Amino acid sequence: MADQVRIGVVGAGSISVRGILPHLAQPDLADRVALAAVCDPVPGRAAAAAEKFGVEQAFTSYEELLAAGDVDAVTIASPIGLHYEQGKLALEAGKHVHFNKTMTITVAEATELIDLAAARQLRIVASPGEMLRPHHVRTRELIAEGAIGTLSWVSCGAAFGTYHENESVRGGSDVLTNIDPSWYFRKPGGGPMYDMTVYSLHTVTGILGPARRVTAMSGVRVPTRSFGDRSVETDADDNTAVLIDFGDNLFCVATGTAAGTMTGGMGGAFYGTDGTINGLLLNGEPFDFPGRNPAETQARGPLNQALLPHVTGPHREIEEQHVYEDVMQLVDWVRDGTPSIVTAEHARHVIDIIESGYRAAETGQTQDLTTTF
């Protein structure tokens, strides 16, 4: 077993300063993780993050981090449009990679990374690890056991609202709190499908298995957004509805919208001939699952992040526990060879649904999916 995994954090933006860095800096990880390096092109941001969280080295260039940062693995926490190129460079440099969602924008890019990692015997963990949540595993079992009869259809999705404009690290005056969210609304990689609907697509495919084909409608509904005294033109679609065929006439409606979600939210609602599972409720009543803790759910919301396997001790009090969990999936895989279920193949299939959905919307033609997991 390797001792510490030396990690480089790529991007010192919102998810890094609120989640990844505070979690990985905790002393309980000192035997397993070293915060070896952080990089960010905004002058002073990586250095400020390094000082605040005790990271060994700070760089303004990613290439420098790879060359001089002495890291075994990177967690890529930059805008989604950069993930493919940065992941490829990391694998070529012999580093294991954790990708924040989404791993890439296209299936072709994902396949290239999967092949590259296999050829070099490197590990990829590609967020979000939604099937690590015990209530999602139990939902899969309940459906298989016939708890809601014959499953008829599924709804899932998420909405931008003004979540990113209002994050705690956006409105301040220093490099760690004035982080610009504009990329979330721009191509490539912007829009609620890659950023938010991706969670529920991981859940629904984790529960139902791979899908067969998609059709969709998509466009921009809110052309201009503002944060602080600035405005951003939206050029990535912010209003998308995808119809997904899982075979045998089982369909799912997935949305990634400017505002408003259907029931089931990030997880999904499953409608059967004898009942419905909607989030944490089976026919309107809470259902049981390993570790279920109603007080915890009441206090911290329905996503049950604190039930993830590595979220213990101080990690229960730090934000973005699911991202920390996914990073630790990679750490365990690298250290002791424990393969994670948070695979690049699953991520590629979800990327296929999103990419094919956009293609269906553009062409007006239903698209066959080409991937599985």
Please give the residue ranges that form the binding site for ligand NAD (CB under 6 A). 10-16, 39-42, 45, 62, 77-80, 82, 100-101, 167, 179, 181, 183, 195, 320, 323
* Closer residue to ligand NAD, CB minimum distance, 105 or 277: 105
Residue 87 C-beta: closest distance to ligand NAD, Å = 11
Residue 59 C-beta: closest distance to ligand NAD, Å = 9
Q: Peptide bond before 75: cis, by omega within 30 degrees of 0?
A: no
* Closer residue to ligand NAD, CB minimum distance, 153 or 227: 227
Residue 351 C-beta: closest distance to ligand NAD, Å = 13
E strands, the chain, are 5-10, 33-39, 57-59, 73-76, 96-99, 124-126, 151-159, 213-219, 224-227, 230-233, 239-245, 251-257, 269-272, 275-278, 281-282, 285-286, 367-368
Residue 178 C-beta: closest distance to ligand NAD, Å = 10
* Closer residue to ligand NAD, CB minimum distance, 79 or 272: 79
Q: Peptide bond before 286: cis, by omega within 30 degrees of 0?
A: no
d(CA 99, CA 128): 9
* Closer residue to ligand NAD, CB minimum distance, 40 or 130: 40
Place of tokens 């994670």: 340
Q: Decide if 104 contacts 113 (C-beta within 8 A).
A: yes
Q: Decide if 355 contacts 363 (C-beta within 8 A).
A: no
* Closer residue to ligand NAD, CB minimum distance, 132 or 360: 132
- Nearest residue relative to ligand NAD (C-beta): 13
* Closer residue to ligand NAD, CB minimum distance, 80 or 361: 80
Residue 350 C-beta: closest distance to ligand NAD, Å = 13
Q: Decide if 78 contacts 46 (C-beta within 8 A).
A: no
Place of tokens 């693995």: 73
Residue 93 C-beta: closest distance to ligand NAD, Å = 14
